[in-house]
Amino acid sequence: MEKIKLRTTGLERLILGYFNTSGTTEEPDNAQLEIVAKNWQESGKYFKKHFKGHSYSAARILKRLRKEFNVGFTEEEIRDLYDELILPDVDCLRGIASFAQEFSVPLTEPQTKKFWNNFFRGKWGNYDLEDAVKYLGKPDLNQEELNYACNDFLRDLAGLKVREKGTERMPRLEDLSALLKLVSLTPQWDMETAGKAYEYMIPLLDNPFAEKKFIFLRDIGVSPPVEKVRKFYRELFARKERYSSSREAGYIAESLERVLKLTNLSLEQRDRKLILRFYRQHLSSDNLEAIRKMEKIIGIPCDAEIVNLVFGDMLRRGDTASINHLSAELKITPAIQESIVQEAYRNLFREGKLDSALKMYLFSDIEPVTDPKTIEMAYKKLETKLRKKERSCYTLGHTVDFQTFGWMSRRFPEQTGKFVKRHLRTMIHEGRFPEIEKLLSSTNVSPEPEEAYVLACKKGDWKLVKSIFEANSDSITRLYPEYARLYQYVV
């Protein structure tokens, strides 16, 4: 009973273990192989049935069976196995190579023909081709077969070839060159597929790694689809910033240069607007190189009119540092319009950017003219910023320079005074006394009696402490109870 089980299911199961589909093939131990060898007549059938797709392991096992257990294989048996191996799969090549090397049994002519047919229908590459030629000799392809192999490459380029998931591989020109080197015929290209390949690859026009493929398509006679190419480069300009502005500008300039070079197209008159917009968006001292490159590629100069518009944009944003850097690089003095400066002040105050407002003043020598509400808004925005930054140890001096508070208090004393008085309370609770001193001296704001009392306590001005406490004991006790308790020691 035991013997029957082994011969019918056990032996097959044993052989199945060598070729499991998980990819981790067991190395059979000697005792197992001995059983396989002893029952080779039976096990050979299972072997033939299950080794497909595992030809490398199969060759290794057969080698051991022959060397260690003296199992003899006839040429006929090996050729039978070749028949099972010749599948449209790269693995078949490796299997055949392993078998051919080990057993020195050449393939029959029909098998060789079938092999090459399957080979060019599968996922082959130049290295596979070199190996196959090494073991089987050069493929003897007729015009039709060569056309099929070459146009299959085009189908792959055009995305028409269905690829198995997880095994996607971009077709490589090296593969095609390796094939064309082996044959003396010239392929007849399917121009329709070639055209489709060009269209399919248009999104890669800006990719330096795809450049050779476009040159190849051009060389075999494909004309670029003009409208689609134009659409592609116009989209380049509209692309949202993926990198920092400086990298983006350089990237667009380089991409446009590549697209125009590869397609041999020149820009149309209507593209002028795009280019001018590009200059306006990207002109800065960091991007000068990219702008110069663009000027050289397309021959549209970034003239003084655009430079002034850019200066205006920078001014509106209150970005005086960029204006300084750009004007130093271009050696152009920016024209400063008072209306734009006032617009910039409004924008900066709305965003609570007081330091930038002072920089704008020092840059333009123009006084801010704005309504009290805007200044109140600026201080509220600043307070929000301070609240958010408190956790990451940012303090008033880090957020806004004290000289800025001085400048603000001289122009907007009421609003600055209100802000300082409000913020003093927070600063006292946080114990930031050195900052309080700087803030008060830069703004000349007199603190409320409660805060003045605390500051007098800090300075040890007991005479002042006494006089303030006597007049404001209730509010001091309510707001600063710990400092209020200090009073009993003073009296």
Partner 1 sequence: MEKNIASRFNVSLQYSSDMLSDKERHAKRKRLYNGNDNITSALKHSGVSYLISFGFDFHFAEPILERVTKIGRDRIEYEIFNGWKCLASSPVCGHSVLDVLVSLRVIRNKK
Closer residue to partner 1 (CB): 143 or 403: 403
User: Binding to partner 1 (CB under 8 A): which residues in 345-364?
Assistant: 358-359, 361-363
Contact pick of 118, 245, 324, 467 for partner 1 (by CB under 8 A): 324
- Contact segment (CB under 8 A) with partner 1 among 192-200, 210-218, 388-396, 398-406 equals 398-406
Structure tokens at 84: 């099972």
Out of 51, 407, 483, 487, the residue judged to bind partner 1 by CB under 8 A: 407
- With binding defined as CB under 8 A, does residue 331 bind partner 1? yes
Q: Report, in Å, the least distance between residue 397 CB and partner 1.
A: 11
**In this chain, which of 109, 168, 305, 365 binds partner 1, going by CB under 8 A?**
365
Q: Which of 410, 422, 429, 485 binds partner 1 (CB under 8 A)?
A: 410
According to CB under 8 A, which one of 226, 321, 369, 490 is a site residue for partner 1?
A: 321
How many Å apart are CA 451 and CA 113, to the nearest integer?
Answer: 98
Residues 8-67 that bind partner 1 (CB under 8 A): none
Shortest distance in whole angstroms from residue 253 CB to partner 1: 21
Binding residues with partner 1: total (CB under 8 A): 19
The residue range among 135-143, 220-228, 273-281, 404-412 that interacts with partner 1, by the rule CB under 8 A, is: 404-412
Kindly indicate which of the ranges 71-79, 131-139, 295-303, 322-330 contains the residues binding partner 1, using the contact rule CB under 8 A.
Answer: 322-330
Token pair 């490459």 in the structure block, residue:
153
**342 near partner 1, judged by CB under 8 A:** no
Amino acid at the residue 105: V
C-beta of 195 vs 250, nearer to partner 1: 250
Query: Per rule CB under 8 A, is residue 317 in the interface with partner 1?
Result: no
Binding to partner 1 (CB under 8 A) within 272-301 occurs at 285
| Pick 316 or 325: Cβ nearer partner 1 | 325
CB 175, CB 153: distance < 8 Å? yes
Considering only residues 118 to 137 of the shown chain, the ones binding partner 1 according to CB under 8 A are none
Is residue 162 within the footprint of partner 1 (CB under 8 A)?
no
Q: How far is the CB of 390 from partner 1 (least distance, A)?
A: 22
Please report whether residue 325 would count as binding partner 1 according to CB under 8 A. Answer: yes
- CB nearer partner 1, residue 117 or residue 285: 285
List residues near partner 1 by CB under 8 A: 285, 321, 324-325, 327-328, 331, 358-359, 361-363, 365, 367, 401, 403, 406-407, 410
